[in-house]
Structure 1
Amino acid sequence: MPLEQRRLTYPEVGATAGALPDGYDHLVRSRTIGTGDAVFHAAAERLMGWEMHRSAGIDVRPTAQRAAVGARVLLRLGWGVLRIGAACEVVLVLDEPRRQGFAYGTLDGHPERGEELFCLERRDDDTVVLGITAFSRPAAWWAAAGAPAARRVQERVTQRYLGSVL
């Protein structure tokens, strides 16, 4: 199915910005990536332009050069016949002087249902922190059958994101 015809697969759109919904696995991770305005702006450019994802080893095929509400992206992980495609739509953008980021939600065909938020924050002490918040549950039968392995993959990819924002 073409990316533009796919629909969001969960009703709690935007929930990564607040209390995470019941009935899903939750993931909340963060890492201090540096200090100061230059670090914050450089990291925001990489995040909003999909470079953080690419640096984490994800094949990124977005419909827009920068993350924007309504933009869609096909994320592909793996190689050859083991390559998994994950279609998402940006559902939230943070564009504040001390916070930048976005959340995307799963579309039809994604092996999971849920949402993931990537948020850069420049705190009062000038440290710059990347936070990742997600809620998800299996959507595909094979994702449900391999749920423990899928959680490990999600944790590994999250750690790669946290290490690749700069």
Structure 2
Amino acid sequence: MGELGERLGRVLRAGDLVILTGPLGAGKTTLTRGIGAGLGVRGPVQSPTFVLARTHPSLVGGAPLVHVDAYRLGGSEELDDLDLDFEGSVVVAEWGAGIVETRSDWLEITIERPIGAESAGEEPAVGAEADPSEDWAEARDEPRTVTITAYGSRWNRGVLE
């Protein structure tokens, strides 16, 4: 997810809007962290859950990244109250579908991941418990399905050329 985000970050520019959709743990913040790296912004890029929106200024003279967590917003009116700079920034909105007013051009990225062992094609053992000695740092990544849908003429030539 981070590598995909970096690739996206290298093509995004001021005025771009990216709406992220996916379940908890799908990788929305990891993708945004990669976008921040590709844009060359000051980090660390972390989930803005408790602040609703966090701005990361550019370290390379480019557009800042505005990372929004729209989950707790009641609607677009509450988003307007945050007074975000949509024109001068790259805005990435987690949980933004239906809340963030779409513009003439935007990207919608949907991330899907398997939930539980059954989704990964593995049968869970009856009565089995997790091994507390297992090193989760060495656990393999779960596969993700990422769908990028581009809207508007800005993306006529494609997203990742």
Q: Do the structures match in fold with TM over 0.5?
A: no
The normalised TM-score by structure 2 is 0.33
Q: Name the structure where helix makes up a greater proportion of residues.
A: 1
Q: Name the structure where strand makes up a greater proportion of residues.
A: 1
- Structure showing greater radius of gyration is 2
The normalised TM-score by structure 1 is 0.32
